[in-house]
Amino acid sequence: MKPLEDIRVIAIEQYGAGPYGSLQLADLGAEIIKIEDPNTGGDVSRYVPPFQEGQDSLFFEAFNRNKRSIALDISTPEGRAVFEDLVVEADAVYSNLRGDVPAKLAIRYEDLAHLNPAIVCVSLSGFGMTGPRSSQPGYDYIMQALAGWMSLTGEAEGPPTKSGLSLVDFSAGYVASTALLAGVHAARRDGVGMDCDLSLYDVAVALLNYPATWHLSAGWEPTRLSRSAHPSLVPFQLFRGGDDEWFVLGCAKEKFFRRVCDAIGRPDLPEDERFSDFAARNDHREAIIAILDDAFATRSASDWMTVLGDAGVPVAPVQDLGEALTDEHTIARNLIVETDHPRFGTVRSVATPVRVGESTAGGGHRSGPRLNEDGVEILTSLLGYSSERIDELRARGAFGSDS
């Protein structure tokens, strides 16, 4: 068995951050039942281009493997009744909606505790369920601007820059999945559930971490540095070989700097008071970088990566997406998983990095569900509805106006 096979989550989720968090749980064996609004065509990520046909998209596949889908209009009394029956059988209700929407949909703990006192209600929103921005929509890009990330990112003379990946969304998904597991653990121990009020904004601010501590405690003001340089550890940045190819060199310990100096034939540099430790090199950053630039210009980037790597210095090429995904270490770590999809054939995606024993390795993954693919099975096997009951609910619009 996979480690989370005894956890059932009812997910009212869409697009990126929420589905990314529940994807981690699904890969670990949790039963994720996606409730999709049939009146809007389900999760909006089904329609994200460029690789999209009908209600299928590779974007949706990236976030929704190993999940189940039921089309349900919870705004109708009949749809709400089905939802409440699902809550009785679940460990958690998980949503990523605007911060004021859980109250409007009545999916908070105070709304559901009478059905299941141990239910854990996880809300991942842009700004949380409290605070002056709680009713505002929020997205990854917005958070990177608002939380200061973009002021820290980019070239010194260039504009503020966002990350090339949706790191706030992805990080928030991990945070939400962790909160859900902690909540379920506590509810099973104490018999009482709770709300978990999480937000992209909170995550983005929390990830400021040590720069925030420097600023709050010592008044440090960041400046963007050329070539993605570390704010205090020198040298730790991009360098270019004599063939104009880029590589990253990281001296996070003094021993690495000494090894670099030996490699370039300058063992004297650590004895120079300008370069004797991290603080000195930070004060004389331009001088040491100029020396290293001149040295690295004498040989190709691949030559230097071999020399430095053999010396035990952290160094890496700047690989493109394809190179990263076919890197021998990517393959060795089983980081690519495959699913069979009725429209796209074999879909290859990246695996969850969460490893728990041996049960999370290997294959056995299912593609993302078609809209309402599991509806009848959920209603009959889980809830015990008869065909007559299902027909009655369908006639009353519980599964959408066109069902």
Tens of pLDDT, residues 68-115: 999 999 999 999 999 999 999 999 999 999 999 999 999 999 999 999
Cβ contacts of 123 within 8 Å, gap of 6 or more: 95, 96, 97, 99, 102, 107, 108, 129, 195, 196, 197, 198
Phi-psi domain of 377 (left: phi exceeds 0; alpha: psi -120 through 50; beta: other): alpha
- What pLDDT, on a 0 to 100 scale, did the predictor assign at position 1? 85
Give the orientation angle of helix 387-395 with respect to helix 77-88, to 10 degrees: 140
SS3 27: helix
User: What is the identity of the amino acid at 274?
Assistant: R
Beta strand ranges found along 254-344 (DSSP E): 315-317, 336-341
Distance CA 305, CA 364 (A): 38
- What pLDDT, on a 0 to 100 scale, did the predictor assign at position 359? 62
Q: List the chain residues with pLDDT less than 70.
A: 359-363, 402-403
User: What is the identity of the amino acid at 90?
Assistant: A
- With beta carbons less than 8 A apart as the criterion, state whether 207 and 197 touch: no
Distance CA 119, CA 30 (A): 15
- What pLDDT, on a 0 to 100 scale, did the predictor assign at position 361? 55
- What pLDDT, on a 0 to 100 scale, did the predictor assign at position 162? 96
- With beta carbons less than 8 A apart as the criterion, state whether 301 and 241 touch: yes
Q: Closest by alpha carbon to 338, among 328, 347, 350, 329?
A: 347
How many helical (H) and strand (E) elements, i.e. helices and strands, does the chain have? Answer: 18, 13
- What are 225-235's pLDDT values in tens digits? 999 999 999 99
For domain 226-318, give the CATH number: 3.30.1540.10
The catalytic residue positions are 230
Written as one string, the DSSP assignment of 334-402 is T-EEEEEETTTEEEEEEPPS---TTTTSS----PPPPTTTTHHHIIIIIT---HHHHHHHHHTTTT-TT
What are the structural domain ranges in the chain? Answer: 8-207+331-395, 226-318
What are the structure tokens assigned to 136, written together? 């505002």
Q: Which CATH number fits domain 8-207+331-395: 3.20.20.10, 3.40.50.10540, 3.30.413.10, 3.40.50.1000?
A: 3.40.50.10540
Cβ contacts of 54 within 8 Å, gap of 6 or more: 343
- What are 344-370's pLDDT values in tens digits? 999 999 999 999 987 665 568 999 999
Q: What pTM was estimated for this model as a whole?
A: 0.94
Cβ contacts of 190 within 8 Å, gap of 6 or more: none
- What pLDDT, on a 0 to 100 scale, did the predictor assign at position 358? 77
CB-based burial of residue 25 (10 Å sphere; 0-12 exposed, 13-18 middle, 19+ buried)?
A: buried
